[in-house]
Amino acid sequence: MPDAIPAFRPDRLGKDVLAELPAYDLIELFFFAYRDFVSDPDRILDEYGFGRAHHRVLHFVDRQPGLTIAELLDILKITKQSLNRVLKELIEKDFIESRTGTSDRRQRLLFATAQGHDLALKLAKLQTRRIMRALSELDPDGKKHVSGYLLRLIDPDDRAHVERLVFGDGKT
């Protein structure tokens, strides 16, 4: 008779044991889920000649009217050259407007135009449909679990920043 396998005791898991058991299920589900999630807007973006990079910029500008370049760079974590390429197109095609800052005239404050807002909303609704479909089959407090989990996946140093951005900081 083989040796008994010790009972699984999550409360006793040390770092060493965790390291032995890769969470393949969550790793892979996250990959597939994200792939499908971001692919929803693609067809619509295509009609406008935009890509996913444009979507991300438009999304955050629409959500945070008056965002500065520096703030946007901090959110997206890309270089200003990469940002500028897509931002320039969004401005030229009149989806985003750039105004000179009032208190600091070096800054550029970004705003979605009416057209930009419409597109951002259209894409957000599309993704929301998928999210709601997935949430609908969960417990009533399933959403709390999911958003808590996603939040804690984020780097601890960024977490407070993201929380403010996502849930609002009381100023708005």
Partner DNA sequence: GAGATATGTCAACAAGGCTGACATAAAATT
Partner DNA sequence: AATTTTATGTCAGCCTTGTTGACATATCTC
| DSSP-derived 3-state class of residue 68 | strand
Query: Which of 53, 57, 62, 56 minimizes the C-alpha distance to 111?
Result: 62
Instruction: Considering the complex, state which of residue 79 and residue 128 has its C-beta at the smaller distance from DNA.
Output: 79
Q: Interface with DNA by CB under 7 A: which range of 72-80, 133-141, 143-151, 152-160?
A: 72-80
Among 54, 61, 62, 112, binds DNA (CB under 7 A): 54
Q: Does residue 152 belong to the site contacting a second copy (CB under 8 A)? A: yes
Q: How far is the CB of 166 from DNA (least distance, A)?
A: 19
Q: Bridge partners of 68? A: 109
Interatomic CA distance for residues 93 and 26, integer angstroms = 40
Instruction: Considering the complex, state which of residue 55 and residue 87 has its C-beta at the smaller distance from a second copy.
Output: 55
Q: How far is the CB of 77 from a second copy (least distance, A)?
A: 7
Sketch the per residue contact string, 97 through 136, with DNA: x for CB under 7 A, - otherwise: -x--x--xxxxx----------------------------
List Cβ neighbours of 153 (8 Å cut-off, separation of 6 or more). Answer: none
State in Å, rounded, how far the first CA of the chain is from the last one: 66
